Amino acid sequence: GSGKGTQAARLRHDFGLTHLSTGDILRRHRAQRTDLGRQATSSMTLGRLVPDELVISMLLQELDAAGPGGFLLDGFPRTTAQAYALDRPLGKAGRRLTAALFLDAPDAVIVERLSGRLTCPRGHVFNARTQPPARPGVCDHDGEPLSVRDDDRAETVRRRLDVYHEVTEPLVGYYEERGVLHSFNGLSTPDAVSEAIRGSLGLAPATRFSRTPSEAVLVHTPGARGRS
């Protein structure tokens, strides 16, 4: 809702990072009806956080498959407990988080953006208000039907934001204390946010991470410091 997915995709493309989106990973497990996916389904559809041990198990599988190199975590960790749990296996693998990117936006804007989001079965995303498809209800890329995911419905988004403020927002202070937090205005245009991220991280447009095991970037969960 704050533009996190857009910025994650740009960072992956521009700087050669392996993109690990916990939301995509969870939805794939659900679609494939894996044991982990079935356990996560009820929590996701109700807008609740999936239990830490499930998320961490899925993420570690993806990190092992990706191999060494720079990576981008999108939407994880969501709790300070997850942050602590993540630090240990990363340290054992000789990796570390070098930046936490926080895109700040008011709750009302996030509800409006997410409740208008349309998704096709293959993962292409549109927005009924800001980026509608050429044909209503049909994906421009593959002709698949578009729908609003259960966890993007307005009432579910509001519950997710309540959980965010209670459980996830403390991560802003956690990473600020570690000296790796970079905050950005989620209401700015995508290009402006991208430029601000590059400037904050000291990256020119042509820069690529060296993809050593120690390098990582985290894109923080969308949310707002206030509830306006």
Q: CB–CB of 28/99 below 8 Å? A: no
Asked whether residue 225 is domain-assigned, the answer is no
Q: Can you give the pLDDT at residue 1?
A: 54
The answer to whether residue 23 sits within a structural domain is yes
pLDDT for the residue numbered 138: 96
The answer to the question of residue 134 being in a domain is yes
* 211 catalytic residue (yes or no): no
pLDDT of 160 reads 85
CA-closest candidate to residue 166, choices 75, 53, 48, 59? 48
Alpha-carbon distance 103 to 184, whole Å? 5
Active site residue 129: no
Name the catalytic one among 12, 27, 78, 95.
78
- What pLDDT is stored for residue 216 in this prediction? 58
Looking at the domain assignment, is residue 117 inside a domain? yes
Q: What is the pLDDT of residue 198?
A: 87
CATH number of the domain residue 101 falls in: 3.40.50.300
Is there a catalytic annotation at residue 78? yes
What's the average pLDDT block by block, 10 residues per block, for the chain (228 residues)?
74 83 84 84 76 80 78 84 85 82 87 87 86 93 92 86 88 92 87 89 61 53 42
Locus of tokens 């601000």: 196
Q: Is position 14 within any domain? A: yes
Helix axes 52-66 and 80-92, enclosed angle (nearest 10): 30
CA 4, 99, 92, 83 torsion: positive or negative?
Answer: negative
From the list 149, 158, 198, 211, the catalytic residue is 149
Is 226 inside a domain boundary?
no
Name the domain count of the chain: 1
The two counts, helices (H) then strands (E), for the chain are 9, 7
> Is residue 224 in some structural domain?
no
Range of the domain at 86: 4-219
Which listed residue (4, 12, 27, 95) is catalytic?
A: 4
Catalytic residue among 12, 27, 113, 160: 160
* Euclidean distance between CA atoms 1 and 161, whole angstroms: 11
The reply to whether 161 falls in a domain is yes
